[in-house]
Amino acid sequence: MRHVDFSPLYRSTVGFDRLFSMFDSLAQPAEGAQSYPPYNIERTGENNYRITMAVAGFSENELEIEAHRNQLTVKGQKSEDQGEHTSEVLYRGIASRAFERRFQLADFVEISGASLKNGLLHIDLIREIPEQMKPRKIEVTQGSPNGTQIEANVNSSKH
């Protein structure tokens, strides 16, 4: 596994210490880290993203997706089998345990939709930056902004 050293960035940035610490902690495997269900995060466009989770065996009504502030939570809870299966399971390789997976979302990222197909849960995200937050060009002009300059009379200001 690769380790990224953020120490050069500490010298040239201000206020991002918490962010770099979070990256460092994500790079190190945590004890008892959750690995179920497996997932992919992909960029599908300039401002579009998709989280794909392998949730084989779960139906739409057994999955719950909740977005609150900058956190996305996906929960899966199997409904109780009411005697549908009369056979005895000798080996269970398909996980059917309950899960809860959390994702931190960046500012201005919203969920645009979710779908379940072939055992894969697709959650589509879009980043919509408000117009006032987008970068804009400022025209540089010569002289004062209104084109005329008023000179202050130093002698008249003394009484």
Q: How far apart are CA 139 and CA 77, in angstroms?
A: 57
| CB proximity list for 114: less than 8 A, separation 6 or greater | 65, 121, 122, 123, 124
* pLDDT for 1 beyond 50: no
Its sign, for the CA torsion 144, 145, 146, 151, is: negative
- Whether this prediction's pTM lies above 0.75 is answered by no
DSSP code for 152: P
Q: Nearest 5°: phi and psi at 40?
A: -125, 150
What average pLDDT does range 18-30 have in this prediction?
62
* pLDDT for 8 beyond 70: no
More confidently predicted of 46 and 95: 46
Q: Nearest 5°: phi and psi at 65?
A: -120, 125
Where along the chain do its domains lie? 1-33, 34-80+90-134
In one-letter notation, the amino acid at residue 63 is L
pLDDT tens per residue, range 40-76: 999 998 889 999 999 988 899 999 999 988 889 999 9
Strands 48-54 and 99-104: unpaired
Lowest mean pLDDT: which of 3-7, 23-27, 44-48, 82-86?
A: 82-86
Fold of domain 34-80+90-134: Immunoglobulin-like (2.60.40)
Q: How far apart are CA 19 and CA 85, in angstroms?
A: 49
Percent of the chain with pLDDT over 70: 64
